[in-house]
Amino acid sequence: MKTLKFFVLSMMLVAMCASTAQAAIGWAGQIWPTSGQTYLPTDNIGVYVQVWKDLCTSDPGPCADIEGWLYYKTASAADYDSVMLSFNVDIGSNDEWTANIPSSATNGGEDELFYVRLHDMSDDTWYEGAMDQANNNPPFTLHIQDGTSQDVAVTFRVDMNCVNPALTAGGVFFTGSFLGWSMCNPFGAMQDTDLDGIWEGTFVFPGGSNANIEYKFQTNDGAACYWECGGNRLATIDDNEPTQVLDLQVYCCETWGPGEISAAGSYCVGLCCCSNELWILLNTPYNPPVFSNFDFVPGCINCDGNECSPGSGDVIWEIRQGGDLNWYLVLCIAPDAGLEIPPGEDAYAGCFCITIDGILPVEMASFDAVGLDNAVQVNWSTATEQAVSHFVLERSTDMENWSTTAQVQARGESSSESRYSFTDENVTNGTTYNYRLTVVDLDGSSTVNSQIASATPNAAATVNSYSLAQNYPNPFNPETNISYNLANAANVTLKVYTVTGEEVATLVSEAQNAGSHTVSFNASSLPSGVYFYRLNADNFTATRKMLLLK
Residue 12 domain-assigned (yes or no): no
Residue 401 domain-assigned (yes or no): yes
Answer with the one of 301, 327, 360 that is the final residue of a domain: 360
Residues 36 and 114 in one domain: yes
**Residue 516 is part of a domain; what is its CATH number?**
2.60.40.2550
Give the per-residue pLDDT at 462: 62
Residues 218 and 136 in one domain: no
Residues 403 and 300 in one domain: no
Q: What is the value of pTM for the model shown?
A: 0.57
Residues 139 and 157 in one domain: no
- DSSP-assigned beta bridge partners for residue 530: 547
**Residue 158 is part of a domain; what is its CATH number?**
2.60.40.10
Residues 204 and 137 in one domain: no
How far, in Å, are 142, 201, 399, 400 from residue 243 at the CA level?
Answer: 27, 13, 68, 70
Residue 8 domain-assigned (yes or no): no
HEC secondary structure over 288-311:
CCEEEEEEEEECECCCCCECCCEC
Using only the alpha carbons of the chain, give its radius of gyration. 33
Residues 527 and 544 in one domain: yes
Indicate left, alpha or beta for 337 from its phi (over 0: left) and psi (-120 to 50: alpha): left
Burial of 189-206, coded b for 16+ CB within 10 Å and e otherwise, reads ebeeeeeebbbbbbbebe
Answer with the one of 250, 284, 314 that is the final residue of a domain: 250
**pLDDT averaged per 10 residues, the chain (length 550):** 41 39 81 94 96 94 96 97 97 96 95 97 94 96 95 97 91 96 97 94 96 96 94 94 97 93 92 90 81 86 84 89 92 61 64 86 80 85 82 94 92 80 89 92 80 79 79 85 90 92 93 87 91 92 87
How far, in Å, are 331, 341, 501 from residue 497 at the CA level?
Answer: 19, 7, 6
Residue 106 domain-assigned (yes or no): yes
What is the full DSSP assignment across 228-264? -SSS-EEEE--TTSSEEEPPPEEPP---B--SEE-SS
Q: Which domain holds residue 53?
A: 25-144
Answer with the one of 343, 360, 377 that is the final residue of a domain: 360
